[in-house]
Chain A
């Protein structure tokens, strides 16, 4: 089965620093990966999609990379703010028009 692995340990960083979250996948390379943000008591919110033929994608302070050799995606938040504190989920396509989500990494940005 296609698995998505994210670091289950919370990531604590200081405001203004760059947060880097890791997403590793197994088996065949997905056609794309998606990143979502989830706040407590709310549903996930879509942030970025990156295709396997794209090395990097940016949106404002967010940057995602996709390395098919390492089978890994990195999610960066530059100039992090306390408001960025949330759980970030990585998801891959299953080849069957559905998504498989990782367990998420909780980010805590300290003021």
Chain B
């Protein structure tokens, strides 16, 4: 079974520029997550989708971050405009069912973003 795919793997941008990340979850997985992982810290949930609906986006900085999951499959995360503190690894994960309580989350390799 193919894992969670993410692209690009690396991105370097200037502050105030825009950037987008793409995620393709494991086929058939209902729940998709975007996490931000700053160096030396654990992943922090930004947004959680169940199929194509948002379950939790309480920690998403909505003034600059947006995400969508069209047709309940692929997802994109956008930052516009980027700030220096957005430098981090952005991880996408998926799980099979609609409950995160006991589901295993499968993570992609992440996109490392550097904002200069």
Q: Which residues of A contact B (CB under 8 A)?
A: 4, 6, 8, 31-32, 41-46, 49, 51, 89, 91, 93, 96-104
Contacts and interface: CB of A to CB of B under 8 A. Distances in A.
Interface of B: 4, 33, 40-45, 48, 55-56, 91, 93, 98-102, 104-110
A89 B35 CA distance: 14
Given A43-B109, A104-B42, A97 B100 contact: yes
B35 to A, nearest CB: 8
Contacts of A8: 40
A57 to B, nearest CB: 13
Contact of B43 (A45, A97, A101): A101
A104 B106 CA distance: 18
A98 B48 contact: yes
Contact of B107 (A31, A43, A93, A96): A43
A42 B109 CA distance: 5
Given A42-B109, A43-B109, A97-B99, A103 B4 contact: no
A32 B107 contact: no
B101 A32 contact: yes
Given A31-B101, A32-B102, A104-B42, A97 B48 contact: yes
